[in-house]
Amino acid sequence: MQLKKYNHPFLFYGVAFIVPWLCWFILAWLSNSQLWDNPTVVFWGSILGLIGLFGPFVIAMVLILPDKEMRQELLSAVFNFKGIRPIFWILTFVLFPISILVAQVISLPFGHSVSQFKFVENMSFSAGIFPAWFLLIIAPILEEFGWHTYGIHCLRNRLNLLMTCVIFGIAWGIWHMPLSFVKGYYQNVLVETGIIYSINFLASLIPYLIIGNWIYYKTNRNMFLVVVFHLLAGFSNEIFQTHPDSKVIQTVLLLIFSIIIICKEKAFFFNKSHEVIL
């Protein structure tokens, strides 16, 4: 893999931010206006929101596909499953379901109800004309094929893996911010629930990325696993009647796990040499 070819961070992040922010701030204005009572406005506003989600994916493909070597690297990341250790399959599929259940168990002595373990009848957020489950499926695919095919690599080309995770986590959190103003969207629901839960969402991105990128690079940058990891992170926090406090506990658990990984794999996270992680 030639990380040196991922050498347009300003172009990638510029487009990846400008296009979604433009779409999402317009959507935010529409969703909080009287125009939102018009089904036609809701329809086109929802489409606008989806277009914003495509931003990082489109610019990543524009930068990758014309180059033969980068194109082959992308195909390998999608279809190559050789040499993946069982532990990474297991972690990909069970980490988030197990961590949220453990967090709910820990929350019980603090007065939270066992009803948290019941399945929800409806998702906690809406997305215009699109059902919430559709966003929980399409977002991981589009985001990961944008961020993890170019966005992460262009940072890793210049930084060690830990700094890549931290800087990207901050950027990714900022990228989501306009959605906090879109009526009914997940980030907007968090804001209305309480500022601590919005902060928790932003804080949770760091351990999420540390663990996720550890799995990603250890599995030869397998895109299937990184998409499933993202998808299960979303669904695991939506399928149960989880109290928001339990999600804060989950973040603490994931942070502890990520620190353990960093301590055990110091060279992997701190050495800037690309060969250490490839």
Q: Active-site residues: which are they?
A: 143, 176
Note whether 235 and 123 are within 8 A (CB).
Answer: no
Note whether 97 and 240 are within 8 A (CB).
Answer: no
Query: What's the residue count for the chain?
Result: 278
Distance CA(36)–CA(44), nearest Å, equals: 10
Residues 6+ positions from 155 with CB-CB distance below 8 Å: 9, 164, 167, 168
Q: Bridge-partner residues for 130, per DSSP?
A: 127
Distance CA(196)–CA(191), nearest Å, equals: 8
Note whether 125 and 186 are within 8 A (CB).
Answer: yes
* 103 DSSP assignment: H
